[in-house]
Amino acid sequence: MAVWSKSFWRPVIKKGGKIPVFNMFINGEWVGSASSETFDVLNPHDQSVIAKVQKAGVYDARKALDAAYKARGSVKNLRAVKRAEILEKAADLLEKYKRDFVDTIVAESGKPICVTEGEVNAAKERLYYASEECKDLYGEEITGDLSPHKFDKFAMVIRQPLGVVLAISPFNYPLHIAVCKIAPAIAAGNSVICKPSSQDPICMIMFARILEAAGLPKGVFNLITGTGSDIGDVMINSEKVNMISFTGSTAVGQHIAKICGMKKLHLELGGKAPAIVLSDCDLDLAVKEVLKGALTFSGQRCDAISRVLVEEKIADKFVKKIMKEIKKWKVGNPKDRKTLVGPLINEKAVQKVELLVNDALEKGAKLLHGGKRKGLYFMPTVLDYVTTKMRIAWEETFGPVVTIIRVRNYEEAIRIANESEYGLDACIFTKDIDKALDAGLRLEDGTVSINASPSHGLGLFPFGGDKASGIGREGIRHSLMEMTKVHTIIFKKNYEP
């Protein structure tokens, strides 16, 4: 791609060859893998090879661990105002090279350009917020007056960085989700190792260049590329890592939790967000929000609306409006600004959606729209009369499917929603404030949205999963708290009051 020929990106790419080969960033240096092995990054739109990326092995992983561990003291001692300056400069550089990031993410992930621009903007804004968070690490003072045994003491409670944060990010928001882990980690004074998805790692390699140019000290940020099977367990098991922040599948998250040892964990895992549509709702609003929640980025989001629990008395009207509105969701080349639905990330993803849709049809669901694939594109699909006996009612779809389950009433909707093993996001559409609040309290999900589809965005509102959807919370201020530890210093008074 022409964007990579700019002088700013020169250190990132190895010289020679028609297909660019991207390096890793370890201990402040741009390096290849010790084995010299690479892997291809494909464009999901036409499945062409757009670049090659280093395939790290155990030696490379340990090198990154050593670098981050050694640098943890330098970043801890870096004044907060300096960390803030670096993060702010990184945000400015991201804005400067925004077009390069947009073009790269569109090419490597297949994400429509209209969605990608929002992702890059959000990553930039998250850096600005993190620069302010550097100045917001306050502790507290506690007196011993309330205890007859501690009256002659007082404590100073401060927050300290954890040390080394391992950030493992997914393919669906390859820049933004990673930045939402990295920025608060650095703001809190931690060093970081980032392992991006192998499906679309290039934007994060570019982001490492941004942090380098912003003046981050050597070893504070390290970017390693490769497969989880090759290097994941080595880093997860390492005693040099103090916290793991992972966004991805529940199966991988459970594996991490089993083998990580005594480390702090943040796991944002799978989701099966229900949208409860009640008979008293603003139907036009519900239809638009449901389609946005189900189809944005082809449904490849953990917060995607994955099942629609609609009251029977309005189900026919709801479906009729869905069928009219879904025609506006244009499928096509992600470079086209009119495209709203692009390809899925790879063949495995398409096959999974096909499997779930076909299982539903075999068990009696009615196909109203879509249901077919072309290459890695899966057409926006509407399934009606889905029942709880079908796999698609329970399994994470990660595809552009509107799954409609007709329910008798509000109580049945709440029951079915809560029977899922997942608990990340949920939403309800109603004009009844009592039912809205009741659902907000009773739905067993980390976040419940009222009259809106779920959206994590910048993290202004904290988010995270319950049940099989994860551990911990992310968000502005909340991520910073997760990535620090409470440190208490107790003083004994040497005088009588």
Residue 283 backbone dihedrals phi, psi, to 5 degrees: -65, -40
pLDDT at 497: 53
Considering its fold, how many domains does the chain have in total?
2
The mean pLDDT of 451-478, rounded to a whole number, is: 95
| 363 three-class SS | coil
Average pLDDT over the chain, rounded to an integer: 96
Residues 259 and 244 in one domain: yes
Q: Does a structural domain hold residue 403?
A: yes
pLDDT at 496: 58
Other CB atoms within a 10 A radius of the CB of residue 400 amount to: 29
Which residues, 6+ apart, have CB-to-CB distance to 25 below 8 Å?
31, 205, 208, 209, 212, 221, 222, 223
Share of the chain above pLDDT 70, in %: 99
| Active-site residue set | 268, 302
Chain position carrying tokens 């109203």: 368
Residues 382 and 411 in one domain: yes
Residues 249 and 122 in one domain: yes
Helices (H), 97-150: 98-109, 113-133
Which run of H or E residues covers position 436? helix 433-442
Helices (H), 143-201: 176-187
Residues 90 and 152 in one domain: yes
**Nearest alpha carbon to residue 12 among 192, 176, 201, 227:** 201
Residues 288 and 235 in one domain: no
- Rounded CA separation 221/123 (Å): 17
The mean pLDDT of 11-23, rounded to a whole number, is: 90
| 263 three-class SS | coil
Return the CATH number at 380: 3.40.309.10
- Rounded CA separation 454/449 (Å): 6
| 45 three-class SS | coil
Residues 109 and 167 in one domain: yes
Q: Does a structural domain hold residue 467?
A: no
Which run of H or E residues covers position 354? helix 347-362
Range of the domain at 24: 2-269+473-484
For 399-424, the DSSP string reads SSEEEEEEESSHHHHHHHHHTSSEES
Q: Does a structural domain hold residue 491?
A: no
Residues 149 and 178 in one domain: yes
Give per-residue pLDDT as tens, 92-114: 999 999 999 999 999 999 999 99
Q: Does a structural domain hold residue 497?
A: no
Q: Does a structural domain hold residue 67?
A: yes
Residues 68 and 193 in one domain: yes
Give per-residue pLDDT as tens, 276-324: 999 999 999 999 999 999 999 999 999 999 999 999 999 999 999 999 9
pLDDT at 495: 59
Tokens read off for 33: 């893998």
Residues 224 and 287 in one domain: no
Residue 115 backbone dihedrals phi, psi, to 5 degrees: -80, -40
* Angle, alpha carbons 119-197-270 (nearest 5°): 80
Residues 250 and 183 in one domain: yes
pLDDT at 404: 98
Residues 277 and 265 in one domain: no
Q: What is the pTM of this model?
A: 0.95
